[in-house]
Protein backbone atom coordinates (compact mmCIF):
# COMPACT_ATOMS: atom_id res chain seq x y z
CA UNK A 1 0.00 0.00 0.00
CA UNK A 2 1.20 3.50 -0.75
CA UNK A 3 0.04 7.05 -0.19
CA UNK A 4 -1.04 8.33 -3.60
CA UNK A 5 -0.91 11.94 -2.37
CA UNK A 6 2.77 11.90 -1.36
CA UNK A 7 5.22 13.49 -3.85
CA UNK A 8 7.48 10.63 -4.91
CA UNK A 9 9.10 8.67 -7.75
CA UNK A 10 6.24 6.72 -9.41
CA UNK A 11 8.67 3.89 -10.20
CA UNK A 12 9.24 3.43 -6.47
CA UNK A 13 5.67 4.03 -5.35
CA UNK A 14 4.87 0.31 -5.43
CA UNK A 15 6.99 -2.80 -5.45
CA UNK A 16 8.26 -4.52 -8.57
CA UNK A 17 7.04 -8.09 -9.11
CA UNK A 18 9.05 -10.73 -7.22
CA UNK A 19 9.10 -14.55 -7.20
CA UNK A 20 6.35 -14.24 -4.56
CA UNK A 21 3.99 -13.03 -7.32
CA UNK A 22 3.95 -16.57 -8.76
CA UNK A 23 0.64 -18.02 -7.54
CA UNK A 24 -2.47 -19.62 -9.00
CA UNK A 25 -6.15 -19.72 -8.15
CA UNK A 26 -9.07 -21.05 -10.15
CA UNK A 27 -11.10 -18.30 -11.89
CA UNK A 28 -12.52 -15.91 -10.84
CA UNK A 29 -10.21 -16.08 -7.80
CA UNK A 30 -10.31 -14.21 -4.51
CA UNK A 31 -8.32 -11.08 -3.83
CA UNK A 32 -8.53 -11.85 -0.10
CA UNK A 33 -6.29 -14.87 -0.77
CA UNK A 34 -3.66 -13.09 -2.89
CA UNK A 35 -0.16 -12.45 -1.57
CA UNK A 36 0.84 -9.68 -1.78
CA UNK A 37 -2.65 -8.18 -1.57
CA UNK A 38 -3.36 -5.67 -4.36
CA UNK A 39 -3.73 -2.10 -3.09
CA UNK A 40 -7.42 -1.18 -3.33
CA UNK A 41 -6.82 2.32 -1.94
CA UNK A 42 -8.94 1.61 1.14
CA UNK A 43 -6.15 2.71 3.49
CA UNK A 44 -5.47 5.99 1.70
CA UNK A 45 -8.11 7.23 -0.78
CA UNK A 46 -9.57 10.59 0.27
CA UNK A 47 -12.81 11.76 -1.29
CA UNK A 48 -13.49 15.43 -1.92
CA UNK A 49 -17.20 15.30 -2.76
CA UNK A 50 -16.67 15.04 -6.50
CA UNK A 51 -19.55 12.53 -6.90
CA UNK A 52 -21.82 13.79 -4.12
CA UNK A 53 -25.30 12.25 -4.34
CA UNK A 54 -24.50 10.28 -7.48
CA UNK A 55 -25.89 6.80 -8.22
CA UNK A 56 -23.33 4.39 -9.62
CA UNK A 57 -23.20 0.87 -11.01
CA UNK A 58 -19.78 -0.81 -10.83
CA UNK A 59 -19.26 -4.25 -12.39
CA UNK A 60 -16.44 -6.47 -11.16
CA UNK A 61 -16.75 -4.50 -7.93
CA UNK A 62 -15.51 -7.25 -5.60
CA UNK A 63 -11.85 -7.20 -6.58
CA UNK A 64 -9.10 -5.50 -8.52
CA UNK A 65 -9.86 -2.32 -10.42
CA UNK A 66 -13.63 -2.48 -9.85
CA UNK A 67 -13.12 -2.77 -6.10
CA UNK A 68 -10.80 0.26 -5.97
CA UNK A 69 -13.29 2.21 -8.10
CA UNK A 70 -16.27 1.26 -5.89
CA UNK A 71 -14.37 2.42 -2.80
CA UNK A 72 -13.30 5.69 -4.46
CA UNK A 73 -16.81 6.39 -5.83
CA UNK A 74 -18.30 5.89 -2.33
CA UNK A 75 -15.73 8.15 -0.70
CA UNK A 76 -16.52 10.78 -3.36
CA UNK A 77 -20.16 10.60 -2.23
CA UNK A 78 -21.84 8.08 -4.56
CA UNK A 79 -24.17 5.21 -3.65
CA UNK A 80 -23.09 2.04 -5.45
CA UNK A 81 -24.65 -1.08 -6.97
CA UNK A 82 -21.98 -3.78 -6.91
CA UNK A 83 -21.99 -6.49 -9.60
CA UNK A 84 -19.80 -9.59 -9.19
CA UNK A 85 -20.03 -13.38 -9.43
CA UNK A 86 -21.66 -15.43 -6.63
CA UNK A 87 -18.33 -17.24 -5.96
CA UNK A 88 -16.79 -13.87 -5.06
CA UNK A 89 -19.00 -13.18 -2.04
CA UNK A 90 -16.02 -13.17 0.34
CA UNK A 91 -14.34 -10.31 -1.56
CA UNK A 92 -17.63 -8.49 -2.15
CA UNK A 93 -18.55 -8.50 1.57
CA UNK A 94 -15.48 -6.39 2.31
CA UNK A 95 -16.36 -3.89 -0.40
CA UNK A 96 -19.95 -3.59 0.87
CA UNK A 97 -18.52 -2.81 4.32
CA UNK A 98 -16.09 -0.22 2.94
CA UNK A 99 -18.83 1.53 0.94
CA UNK A 100 -21.07 1.61 4.03
CA UNK A 101 -18.20 2.92 6.17
CA UNK A 102 -17.94 5.80 3.70
CA UNK A 103 -21.54 6.60 4.67
CA UNK A 104 -23.00 5.45 1.36
CA UNK A 105 -25.48 2.81 0.28
CA UNK A 106 -24.13 -0.46 -1.15
CA UNK A 107 -26.46 -2.77 -3.08
CA UNK A 108 -24.90 -6.18 -3.80
CA UNK A 109 -26.24 -7.89 -6.94
CA UNK A 110 -24.27 -11.07 -7.67
CA UNK A 111 -24.82 -12.86 -10.98
CA UNK A 112 -23.50 -13.75 -14.42
CA UNK A 113 -22.96 -10.86 -16.85
CA UNK A 114 -23.00 -13.30 -19.77
CA UNK A 115 -26.80 -13.27 -19.33
CA UNK A 116 -28.72 -10.28 -20.71
CA UNK A 117 -31.42 -10.76 -18.04
CA UNK A 118 -28.88 -10.34 -15.25
CA UNK A 119 -27.49 -7.16 -16.87
CA UNK A 120 -31.03 -5.77 -16.86
CA UNK A 121 -31.45 -6.77 -13.20
CA UNK A 122 -28.30 -4.84 -12.27
CA UNK A 123 -29.74 -1.69 -13.82
CA UNK A 124 -33.16 -2.32 -12.21
CA UNK A 125 -31.47 -2.66 -8.82
CA UNK A 126 -29.98 0.82 -9.23
CA UNK A 127 -33.29 2.30 -10.36
CA UNK A 128 -35.29 0.65 -7.57
CA UNK A 129 -32.83 0.74 -4.67
CA UNK A 130 -30.75 3.85 -5.38
CA UNK A 131 -33.55 5.79 -7.07
CA UNK A 132 -31.81 5.93 -10.46
CA UNK A 133 -28.48 5.58 -12.22
CA UNK A 134 -26.10 8.31 -13.43
CA UNK A 135 -22.75 6.47 -13.51
CA UNK A 136 -22.13 3.13 -15.20
CA UNK A 137 -18.59 1.78 -14.75
CA UNK A 138 -18.21 -1.38 -16.86
CA UNK A 139 -15.15 -2.97 -15.29
CA UNK A 140 -15.85 -6.73 -15.18
CA UNK A 141 -13.78 -8.75 -17.61
CA UNK A 142 -12.57 -12.21 -18.53
CA UNK A 143 -9.00 -13.06 -19.62
CA UNK A 144 -7.71 -16.60 -20.19
CA UNK A 145 -4.47 -17.05 -22.12
CA UNK A 146 -4.26 -19.70 -24.85
CA UNK A 147 -0.98 -20.11 -26.76
CA UNK A 148 -2.33 -21.62 -30.00
CA UNK A 149 -5.49 -20.73 -31.92
CA UNK A 150 -5.96 -24.48 -32.43
CA UNK A 151 -6.62 -24.77 -28.67
CA UNK A 152 -8.86 -21.70 -28.39
CA UNK A 153 -12.35 -23.18 -28.08
CA UNK A 154 -15.50 -21.64 -29.45
CA UNK A 155 -16.86 -21.80 -25.87
CA UNK A 156 -14.02 -19.63 -24.57
CA UNK A 157 -14.13 -17.21 -27.51
CA UNK A 158 -17.85 -16.83 -26.91
CA UNK A 159 -17.50 -16.40 -23.11
CA UNK A 160 -14.79 -13.75 -23.50
CA UNK A 161 -16.94 -11.77 -25.94
CA UNK A 162 -20.09 -12.22 -23.82
CA UNK A 163 -18.35 -11.00 -20.66
CA UNK A 164 -16.27 -8.18 -22.13
CA UNK A 165 -18.37 -6.89 -25.05
CA UNK A 166 -21.99 -8.12 -24.86
CA UNK A 167 -22.39 -7.32 -21.15
CA UNK A 168 -21.14 -3.78 -21.80
CA UNK A 169 -23.67 -3.45 -24.64
CA UNK A 170 -26.55 -4.86 -22.54
CA UNK A 171 -25.72 -2.72 -19.50
CA UNK A 172 -25.37 0.46 -21.58
CA UNK A 173 -28.63 -0.27 -23.40
CA UNK A 174 -30.54 -0.84 -20.16
CA UNK A 175 -28.94 2.07 -18.26
CA UNK A 176 -29.15 4.83 -20.89
CA UNK A 177 -32.96 4.71 -20.76
CA UNK A 178 -32.77 5.89 -17.15
CA UNK A 179 -29.79 8.25 -17.28
CA UNK A 180 -30.37 11.97 -16.73
CA UNK A 181 -28.26 14.62 -18.47
CA UNK A 182 -24.83 14.77 -16.80
CA UNK A 183 -24.48 11.00 -16.56
CA UNK A 184 -21.29 9.15 -17.41
CA UNK A 185 -20.44 5.70 -18.75
CA UNK A 186 -16.88 4.43 -18.32
CA UNK A 187 -15.80 1.26 -20.12
CA UNK A 188 -12.62 -0.70 -19.48
CA UNK A 189 -10.23 -1.27 -22.35
CA UNK A 190 -6.56 -2.35 -22.07
CA UNK A 191 -3.08 -1.84 -23.47
CA UNK A 192 -3.92 -5.14 -25.19
CA UNK A 193 -6.20 -3.20 -27.56
CA UNK A 194 -3.08 -1.70 -29.21
CA UNK A 195 -0.25 -4.09 -28.35
CA UNK A 196 -1.97 -7.47 -28.32
CA UNK A 197 -0.08 -10.38 -26.84
CA UNK A 198 -0.34 -13.40 -29.16
CA UNK A 199 -1.58 -15.55 -26.25
CA UNK A 200 -4.54 -13.18 -25.66
CA UNK A 201 -6.13 -13.39 -29.11
CA UNK A 202 -9.77 -13.36 -27.95
CA UNK A 203 -9.24 -10.98 -24.99
CA UNK A 204 -7.19 -8.39 -26.91
CA UNK A 205 -9.77 -8.38 -29.70
CA UNK A 206 -12.56 -7.60 -27.21
CA UNK A 207 -10.53 -4.69 -25.80
CA UNK A 208 -10.13 -3.12 -29.27
CA UNK A 209 -13.89 -3.57 -29.74
CA UNK A 210 -14.50 -1.79 -26.42
CA UNK A 211 -12.50 1.26 -27.59
CA UNK A 212 -14.46 1.46 -30.83
CA UNK A 213 -17.83 0.85 -29.12
CA UNK A 214 -16.94 3.68 -26.71
CA UNK A 215 -16.21 6.12 -29.53
CA UNK A 216 -19.36 5.24 -31.49
CA UNK A 217 -21.74 5.27 -28.51
CA UNK A 218 -20.20 8.50 -27.20
CA UNK A 219 -21.25 10.33 -30.35
CA UNK A 220 -24.70 8.78 -30.24
CA UNK A 221 -25.57 9.86 -26.69
CA UNK A 222 -23.65 13.15 -26.31
CA UNK A 223 -26.82 14.98 -27.33
CA UNK A 224 -28.65 13.22 -24.46
CA UNK A 225 -26.09 14.76 -22.08
CA UNK A 226 -24.42 11.40 -21.42
CA UNK A 227 -20.64 11.14 -21.74
CA UNK A 228 -19.01 7.82 -22.66
CA UNK A 229 -15.27 7.23 -22.19
CA UNK A 230 -12.91 4.35 -21.44
CA UNK A 231 -9.92 3.64 -19.24
CA UNK A 232 -7.16 1.44 -20.69
CA UNK A 233 -5.02 -0.02 -17.90
CA UNK A 234 -1.61 -1.60 -18.41
CA UNK A 235 -0.46 -4.56 -16.31
CA UNK A 236 -2.22 -4.25 -12.95
CA UNK A 237 -1.78 -6.66 -10.04
CA UNK A 238 -5.21 -8.31 -9.73
CA UNK A 239 -6.92 -11.70 -9.48
CA UNK A 240 -7.39 -11.68 -13.26
CA UNK A 241 -3.69 -12.35 -13.76
CA UNK A 242 -3.33 -15.25 -11.31
CA UNK A 243 -6.40 -17.17 -12.53
CA UNK A 244 -5.21 -17.96 -16.07
CA UNK A 245 -4.86 -14.41 -17.39
CA UNK A 246 -1.12 -14.98 -17.78
CA UNK A 247 1.07 -18.10 -17.64
CA UNK A 248 2.08 -18.60 -14.01
CA UNK A 249 5.79 -18.58 -14.85
CA UNK A 250 5.76 -14.97 -16.12
CA UNK A 251 4.18 -13.53 -12.93
CA UNK A 252 7.55 -12.93 -11.17
CA UNK A 253 8.28 -10.40 -13.98
CA UNK A 254 4.73 -9.04 -14.24
CA UNK A 255 4.86 -5.37 -15.27
CA UNK A 256 8.63 -5.34 -15.86
CA UNK A 257 8.06 -4.40 -19.52
CA UNK A 258 6.64 -0.97 -18.64
CA UNK A 259 8.90 2.13 -18.51
CA UNK A 260 8.22 2.22 -14.75
CA UNK A 261 9.37 -1.40 -14.52
CA UNK A 262 6.61 -2.50 -12.15
CA UNK A 263 2.96 -3.54 -12.21
CA UNK A 264 0.27 -0.96 -11.54
CA UNK A 265 -2.05 -1.29 -8.56
CA UNK A 266 -5.86 -0.98 -8.61
CA UNK A 267 -5.61 2.14 -6.42
CA UNK A 268 -3.73 3.85 -9.26
CA UNK A 269 -6.64 3.23 -11.65
CA UNK A 270 -9.48 4.52 -9.44
CA UNK A 271 -8.81 8.24 -9.89
CA UNK A 272 -9.05 7.86 -13.68
CA UNK A 273 -12.60 6.50 -13.31
CA UNK A 274 -13.49 9.22 -10.77
CA UNK A 275 -12.28 11.89 -13.21
CA UNK A 276 -14.30 10.48 -16.11
CA UNK A 277 -17.40 10.07 -13.92
CA UNK A 278 -17.28 13.56 -12.45
CA UNK A 279 -18.36 16.82 -14.04
CA UNK A 280 -14.67 17.84 -14.13
CA UNK A 281 -14.33 15.90 -17.39
CA UNK A 282 -17.37 17.61 -18.99
CA UNK A 283 -15.61 18.21 -22.36
CA UNK A 284 -14.01 14.74 -22.55
CA UNK A 285 -16.12 12.43 -24.70
CA UNK A 286 -15.31 9.22 -26.59
CA UNK A 287 -11.79 9.17 -25.24
CA UNK A 288 -9.61 6.43 -23.78
CA UNK A 289 -7.51 7.37 -20.77
CA UNK A 290 -4.40 5.19 -20.71
CA UNK A 291 -3.02 4.29 -17.29
CA UNK A 292 -0.28 1.86 -18.19
CA UNK A 293 3.05 2.81 -16.69
CA UNK A 294 4.25 4.56 -19.84
CA UNK A 295 3.68 2.15 -22.71
CA UNK A 296 3.11 4.07 -25.98
CA UNK A 297 -0.43 4.09 -27.39
CA UNK A 298 -1.83 5.44 -30.65
P1 LIG B 1 -10.46 -8.90 -11.31
O2 LIG B 1 -10.43 -10.36 -11.55
O3 LIG B 1 -10.17 -8.45 -9.93
O4 LIG B 1 -11.86 -8.30 -11.75
C5 LIG B 1 -12.60 -8.81 -12.81
C6 LIG B 1 -14.01 -9.02 -12.32
O7 LIG B 1 -14.85 -9.32 -13.43
C8 LIG B 1 -14.19 -10.18 -11.37
O9 LIG B 1 -13.98 -9.79 -10.03
C10 LIG B 1 -15.63 -10.58 -11.62
O11 LIG B 1 -16.48 -10.05 -10.61
C12 LIG B 1 -16.00 -9.92 -12.93
N13 LIG B 1 -16.53 -10.90 -13.87
C14 LIG B 1 -15.85 -11.67 -14.73
N15 LIG B 1 -16.70 -12.47 -15.39
C16 LIG B 1 -17.94 -12.20 -14.94
C17 LIG B 1 -19.24 -12.70 -15.23
N18 LIG B 1 -19.44 -13.65 -16.17
N19 LIG B 1 -20.28 -12.20 -14.53
C20 LIG B 1 -20.10 -11.24 -13.59
N21 LIG B 1 -18.90 -10.72 -13.29
C22 LIG B 1 -17.83 -11.20 -13.96
O23 LIG B 1 -9.44 -8.28 -12.35
P24 LIG B 1 -9.15 -6.77 -12.85
O25 LIG B 1 -7.80 -6.83 -13.44
O26 LIG B 1 -9.44 -5.79 -11.83
O27 LIG B 1 -10.17 -6.62 -14.06
C28 LIG B 1 -11.02 -5.51 -14.21
C29 LIG B 1 -11.00 -5.02 -15.64
O30 LIG B 1 -9.73 -4.46 -15.93
C31 LIG B 1 -11.25 -6.08 -16.71
O32 LIG B 1 -12.12 -5.56 -17.69
C33 LIG B 1 -9.88 -6.29 -17.31
O34 LIG B 1 -9.96 -6.73 -18.63
C35 LIG B 1 -9.33 -4.89 -17.21
N36 LIG B 1 -7.89 -4.80 -17.32
C37 LIG B 1 -7.10 -5.39 -16.40
C38 LIG B 1 -5.72 -5.32 -16.55
C39 LIG B 1 -4.81 -5.96 -15.55
O40 LIG B 1 -3.60 -6.06 -15.82
N41 LIG B 1 -5.26 -6.41 -14.41
C42 LIG B 1 -5.16 -4.64 -17.63
C43 LIG B 1 -6.00 -4.04 -18.55
C44 LIG B 1 -7.37 -4.13 -18.40
MG1 LIG C 1 -13.10 -10.83 -8.39
24 domain-assigned: yes
Quick check: is 298 in a domain?
Answer: no
pLDDT in tens, 245-262: 999 999 999 999 999 999
pLDDT reading at 273 higher than 90: yes
Q: Is 183 helix (H, G, I), strand (E, B) or coil?
A: coil
- Each residue of 133-153: pLDDT tens digit? 999 999 999 999 999 999 999
Q: Please give the distance, rounded to the nearest whole angstrom, from the Cα atom of residue 221 to the centre of ligand 2.
A: 30
Cα distances (angstroms) measured from residue 173 to each of 116, 120, 167, 176, 177: 10, 9, 10, 6, 7
Q: Is the Cβ atom of 233 under 6 angstroms away from ligand 1?
A: yes
- Structural domains counted in the chain: 1
Q: Determine, yes or no, domain membership for 4.
A: no
Is residue 1 over pLDDT 90? no
Full residue range of the structural domain in which residue 264 is found: 10-291
Indicate the top mutation candidate among 65, 155, 262, 270 to test ligand 1's pocket, ranked by most ligand atoms within 8 A of CB.
65
Residue 296 lies in a domain: no
Residues 6+ apart with CB under 8 A from 12: none
Binned at pLDDT 50, 70 and 90, residue 100 comes out as: very high
Whether residue 2 is contained in a domain is answered as no
Q: Given the CA of residue 113, which atom of ligand 1 is nearest to it?
A: 19
What share of the chain in percent tops pLDDT 70? 100
Contact yes or no for 170/120 (Cβ under 8 A): yes
Query: What distance in angstroms lies between residue 3's CA and the mean position of ligand 2's atoms?
Result: 24
pLDDT of residue 2: 84
Q: What is the CATH number of the domain that holds 235?
A: 3.40.50.720
Mean pLDDT of the chain: 98
Q: Which residue among 84, 145, 203, 273 is the active-site one?
A: 203
Per the domain annotation, does 220 fall within a domain?
A: yes
Active site residue 203: yes
Asked whether the predicted pLDDT for residue 190 surpasses 90, the reply is: yes
263 in a structural domain: yes
**pLDDT for the residue numbered 214:** 99
0.85 exceeded by pTM: yes
Which tens digit of pLDDT belongs to each residue from 34-44?
Answer: 999 999 999 99
Check whether 33 has a pLDDT greater than 80: yes
Whether 185 is in a domain gets the answer yes
Task: Tell me how far the alpha carbon of residue 170 lies from the centroid of ligand 2, in angstroms.
Answer: 20
- Buried b / exposed e along 15-25 (16+ C-beta atoms within 10 A): ebbeeebeeee
Q: Which of 58, 59, 64, 94 to mutate to test the pocket of ligand 1 (most atoms within 8 A of CB)?
A: 64
Amino acid sequence: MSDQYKFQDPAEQYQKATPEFKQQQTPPGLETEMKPRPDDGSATYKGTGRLAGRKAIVTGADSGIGRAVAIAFAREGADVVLSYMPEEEQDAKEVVKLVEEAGRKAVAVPGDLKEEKYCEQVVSAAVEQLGGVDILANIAGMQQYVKDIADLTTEQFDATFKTNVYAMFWLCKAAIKHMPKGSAIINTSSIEAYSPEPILLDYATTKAAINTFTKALAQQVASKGIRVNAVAPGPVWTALQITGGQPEEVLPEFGAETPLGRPGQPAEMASAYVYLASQESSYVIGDTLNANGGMPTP
